[in-house]
Chain A
Amino acid sequence: MKRTIKPSIPERSEDPLIEVSLTVNGEAVTRKVSMRMLLSDFLRHELGLTGTHVGCEHGVCGCCTVHIDGKAGRSCLTLAAQANGADIRTIESVATSETVLHPIQQAFKECHALQCGFCTPGMVMNILSRFEEPGPLDLSDEGIRDMLSGNLCRCTGYINIIAAVRRAGELTGRT
C-alpha cells in the first residue's frame, strides 16, 4: 500500500443534536446525540453496552430487547431522544455478580438454550421482564411459548429455550 495524503475527515455528521438524560443500569447518563440516533445504537456505540444486539432493525426479531421503565421494549424502534428521562436496563446488569449468573442465565446454560448467543440477550431481557411482572406467571408449555413469541432464534429450535424458562421457574421458586 503506497503512502497517500491523509484525507481530511470530519469528526461527525451535521445531524442536529439533542441532549438526553436517562438512567442506564442504575447510572445517570447525559449525552448529546444525533436527533435520529436509535436507542440501540446509543446503548451500543455511545455507551459501549454492546450486549444489546440488533438483528433486524425493524422490530421483529427481539434481539434488541431492553427494559424501558420496567417493561421489555425494542431499542431498535426507539430513538435515543425518546428515552430522555427513562430508566433503561440492559443485559449487562442482569447477572447476580461477576461470578454468579442470574437464575435465568444459569438456566440457559444448564439447558443449552443458546448456540451462537446472538438472540440470547434479547431473550433473557424479555423473559426477565415477565418474571419480574407482579402477578402469576404462566409456565405451562403454551404459556412459555407465548412468552417467547416475540423473539426469533435461528440456532436452537427453541425447545431448549422453553426448557430453560421452565428451569428458571424452578430456580426462582416460580413453578
Chain B
Amino acid sequence: MSTRSFGARVERNVDPKLLRGEGAFIDDIPLANVLHTAFLRSPHARARIKSIDVRAAKQHPGVVAVYTCDDIGVLDMAMPLLIPHPCMKNPQTQRPLARDEVHYVGQTIAMVVAVDRYTAEDGAGLIEVEYEPLPVEMDMEKALAPGAPLVHEKAPGNLAAHFVQVCGKPDDAFARAEHIVKIRVQVDRSTAAPMECRAIAARWDAVSGELTVWDGTQAPISVRGGLASIFALDEDKVRVIAPDVGGGFGQKVLFFYPDELLVPMAAMQLGRPVKYIEDRRENFLGSSQERTQIHEIELAALKTGEVIGLRDSFLHDTGAYIPYGIAVAQVASTSIAGPYRIPNIWVEFKAVYTPTVQVTPYRGCGRPQACFAVERAMDQLAEELGLDRFEIRKRNFIGVDQFPYEREGLLFADGLKVTLDSGQYAKALGMAADALGASSFAADQAAARAEGKYLGLGLACYVEGTGLGPYEGGHVRIHPITGKVYVNTGLSTQGQGHDTVFAQIVSDQLGVKPEDVIVVEGDTKAFDWGVATFASRAAVVSGNAIHKTAITVRKKTITAAANMLEVAEDEVELRDGAAWVIGSNRFVPLAAVATASNPLRYAFNEAAQAATQFAPASKHDGPPLGEGTAPGLEATDYYSPPASTWAYGVHAAIVEVDPGTCAVKIRKYICIHDCGNMINPMIVEGQVMGGIAQGIGGALYERLDYQPDGNLANASFMDFLMPYATEIPDVKILHLETPSPLNPLGVKGVGEAGCIAVGAVVASGVEDALKQLGPMKFRHVPLTPTMISDALESVGH
C-alpha cells in the first residue's frame, strides 16, 4: 500500500499559483468594460434624512448612474432576517439604501456607478444630503434604561432579544453552595479585518438571461438562492462564484450586504459588468463586527472547589441590526460552562441595539467572551478558596468516562441540546503544565522578581462546538482522459486549504497522489447543494461527505478493474494511480478504468487505447450501458452530522509586565489542542496559530473606538492596532487526537479554535504578574497599558 495521506503534512496544492501572484481574487478578474461603484455613507449615527440631491453627481462626467432608495425597485426593502428566533422582538435588518433615516455611521445612502472608482467617489462626494441629527446613546447599559435615545423607534428600550436558558436546578445549587464568587467581565468591539476587503462583481448576459456574480463570500450557494428569489430569476440562471478569497473569518458569511444586491441590479440595468471593491475604511464602517459583551457571572461552589452551579447574565451588543439573529449570543450562552461538569446553569442575555455597524459572527462567535467570563471566574474562585489554578480546573473537568456529557436545557446553534461528545481535558491540562514548566514557575517568578521583573502565569481552557449541520455534499469523479480525480463540494475557501485536505481524504480511497485530486468549490455551477463555510464545519461536514463519496467511487473502481483484469474484487488494490492485482505486476491505470466504464466509440488517447487491451469493465448482457447503471467512475453523496462535535484545548502562557511602561510581553505561549483526528497537522497548526494571533490582537490591541457621537475614531489600519510579526511570540502547539465518535473520519472543526482562550490567558497572566503589588483585577479586554496604569494607580503604585 502507498502511505496514507490522511494525517500527513502534505504541502498545499493551491500555493504555487498564490505565490506567483496568479491567484484570482475578485478585483483580479478581468471584465471587459466594467463599471465601478462607490457609496455615499452616513456621517451620522442617528439622523432623519430630510432630502437627497443627486443632480450634481449625475451630471459629473464619467458618472453613469446614481441610485437612492427611490431608484432600486424591489430592493427598497429590509434585507432578510437570516436566522429567526422567537426571543427576538421586532428584529431589524438594514435596507440596501437608507430610507428616511440612518442608524449608524457608515450606513449606505446612495450608490454611484461610474467609469472608474475615482470618478465614482467624486460622484458620491457631490451628493447633497440634508440630515436632522438625532441623539444617540453609545453605552450599551445606558441604552437599555428608560428614556434612552432609540436606535429604532420600533424597538422600545433598544432591546433586540431577551433569552434565558436553564440546565438542571441552578437555584438549588446556589442555595447549597458553600462559596459563591461573582465577577463582571467585558470584551470590547473588534473586527475580522480580512486582508482582502469584501468585493463583488456582476455580469448580466441579456442573450442567455444569465446573471453571473463573483462574490468574495463564504456562502455562494446561499447567495445564489437569495439573488434568484429577490430578482425572480430561475436558480439555474444565477451563477455565484467565490473565487480566491482573501480571508473571511465570519465577516464574509453575511448575506446580504447592500452591495451584494445593488451591484447585480446595476449590472442588469446598465447592461455592463459592474463591480464594487470595498476599501479598508468602508470595511471598518460597513462590514460586520463582533465581540462586545458584558457578563455578570456567578459560580456556586463547594469548599473542595467543585462548582455546582453557574449563573450568568450578559448584555450582547448587536449593533444597529440583528440580521444573523441571536447566533453570537446563543453560542456564548451554550459555551458558558466550558469543559466543566457544572450541572446547574442559568444563563440569560439581552441583545441590545446600538447605533453602530451590525454584529454578526466573527471567528469565535461568542466563545471568546464566554471563555473569558468563566475562566476569569474560575481564577477568582481558586484564589478565594486558596487552590491552585490548575487544580481547581482538574477537579471540575468532565472526565473521559463521562462522555457524552449532556447539558439538558441548553440548545446549541444547531437547535440541539448541548452534548459534549469526547475529550481528554485533564490530560490536556497536564500537557500544558509540563510544556509551560508550571511546577517550577513559582521559583522562576520569585527569581525574576528579585531582578525587578514581573512574570505571571496565565491559563485558560476552552471548548468549541464545531461541525454544525445541516449537511454538505461531495461529488467525486475520476476523469477518463487524464485519470485525475475531480472533487466538488458546496463550500468556498478563504485560505483554509480545503483543496488539499479534501484531496488527502480522496487520495487515500483511490490510491492517487493528493496533487492529482483537483478540488473545485465556490461555484454554484460546479456543485450547488449545501450551505457555507462557517462555524468550523468544513472538514467535518464536507470532509465526511467527500469521504463517503470517495468510498463509493472506490467500490465502483474496484468492481470495474476486477472485471477488466479478470480477477476477484478482493484481489484488486488501488495505488499509484492504478488498479493492481495484489502481489503481481499486472495493473490497469485509473484513466483506463474510467474510460472503460464510459462506453464511447472514440479513443481520444492512450488511456482509451489501453482500455481496449482489457476485458470489459462491466459484466452484463444487452446495451453498452447496463440498465440501472451510470457511465464513468463517479458518485455524489452527502453527510449530515447527528450533532455538533466538540473540540477543546488548554492554553497557558508566561507574560511579563513592566509596571513602569505598563507594557505586556508574552514570554512563552503553549497551546494544547484537540480537534479529533487531524487530516493535515500542518494546516491544523496554521489555523490554530492564525487564531491565536487574532486572539492576541483581541487580548491586547484591537478595539474599535466608537466616540460618544457614534463616529468610529479608528477606521483605518493606521489607528486600529493589529499585531505584526513583532507582536506575536513563538507559540508551541501540541496536539491531542481524541477521535470524534460522531463521524466516520473522527474529525472535529478547528477554524475558530485558536482565538477563543487568548484573552482569558493574557488577563490571567497579567493579574498573576502584578499580584504582589496589590489586589488588581483584569477583567476587560483588550487589556491596554492605560488599564494597567489605572489599576496600578488604584493600589497606590
Q: A: which residues have CB within 8 A of B? A: 1, 3-4, 6-7, 9-15, 34, 36-37, 44, 48-58, 60-61, 63, 90-92, 94-95, 101, 105, 108-110, 112, 114-121, 124, 141, 144-146, 148-162
Contact = CB atoms under 8 A, between A and B. Distances in A.
Contacts of A58: 280, 716-718
Nearest to B192: A154
Contacts of B686: 112, 115, 155-157, 160
Contacts of A95: 19-20
A115 B280 contact: no
B196 A157 contact: no
Given A1-B204, A115-B495, A36 B25 contact: no
A3 B206 contact: yes
B118 A14 contact: no
Contacts of A53: 25, 195-196, 246
Contact of A124 (B19, B119, B694): B19
B690 interface: yes
A116 B246 contact: yes
A3 B15 CA distance: 44
A153 B685 CA distance: 16
B728 to A, nearest CB: 5
A145 B726 CA distance: 5
B196 A51 contact: no
Contact of A152 (B197, B495, B724, B754): B724
B717 A13 contact: no
Identify the 4 closest CB pairs spanning chains A and B, nearest first. A51-B21, A118-B246, A116-B495, A117-B18
Given A91-B20, A101-B16, A112-B686, A154 B722 contact: yes
A23 to B, nearest CB: 18
Given A52-B21, A112-B12, A11 B247 contact: no
Contact of B115 (A11, A101, A158): A11
A9 to B, nearest CB: 5
Nearest to B272: A9
Contacts of B20: 51, 91-92, 94-95, 101, 105
A162 B685 CA distance: 15
B496 A36 contact: no
13 contacts: A34-B118, A37-B118, A48-B30, A50-B21, A51-B21, A58-B280, A61-B195, A90-B21, A101-B16, A105-B16, A115-B247, A153-B195, A154-B690
B18 A112 contact: no
B746 to A, nearest CB: 23
Contacts of B685: 112
B731 interface: yes
Nearest to A107: B19
B470 interface: no
A130 to B, nearest CB: 13
Contacts of B219: none
Contacts of B682: 112
A15 B119 CA distance: 9
A114 B15 contact: yes
A48 B32 CA distance: 12
B30 A157 contact: no
Residue among A50, A58, A159 with the highest chain B CB neighbour number at 10 A? A159
Contacts of B280: 55-58, 61
B114 interface: yes
Contacts of A48: 30
A160 B717 CA distance: 23
B244 interface: yes
Contacts of B496: 115
B725 A154 contact: no
Interface in B200-252: 204, 206, 209, 231, 233, 244-247, 249
B363 to A, nearest CB: 10
B690 A110 contact: no
A160 B688 CA distance: 12
Nearest to B271: A6
A37 B196 CA distance: 20
A143 to B, nearest CB: 11
Main secondary structure on chain B at its contact with chain A? loop
Interface string B693-730: 11000000000000000000000111000111110101
Contacts of B724: 148-152, 158
Given A1-B268, A9-B64, A117 B244 contact: yes
B53 interface: no
A149 B23 CA distance: 24
Contacts of A105: 16, 19-20
Contacts of B694: 154, 157
Nearest to B34: A45
B444 interface: no
A39 to B, nearest CB: 14
B452 to A, nearest CB: 23
Contact of B689 (A51, A109, A156): A156
Nearest to A98: B20
Given A55-B280, A108-B15, A114-B19, A149 B725 contact: yes
B65 interface: yes
Given A13-B114, A157-B731, A61 B692 contact: no
Given A56-B717, A118-B246, A1 B64 contact: no
Nearest to A102: B19
Interface in B236-293: 244-247, 249, 268-272, 279-280
B670 to A, nearest CB: 14
Nearest to B116: A13
A31 B198 CA distance: 30
A156 to B, nearest CB: 5
B56 to A, nearest CB: 15
Nearest to B363: A154
Interface in B162-195: 192-195
A58 B193 CA distance: 15
Given A50-B27, A157-B731, A92 B21 contact: yes
B75 to A, nearest CB: 13
Given A118-B247, A152-B717, A51 B195 contact: no
Given A11-B115, A63-B195, A149-B726, A117 B27 contact: no
B683 interface: yes
A121 B16 CA distance: 11
B653 to A, nearest CB: 14
Contact of B19 (A120, A159, A160): A120
Contact of A117 (B30, B272, B495, B722): B495
B31 to A, nearest CB: 11
A12 B34 CA distance: 11
A101 to B, nearest CB: 6
B195 A154 contact: yes
A113 to B, nearest CB: 9
Given A53-B196, A117-B495, A149-B725, 7 more contacts: A55-B280, A60-B717, A112-B682, A116-B246, A118-B25, A157-B692, A160-B686
B35 A12 contact: no
A44 B244 CA distance: 16
B21 A121 contact: yes
A91 B193 contact: no
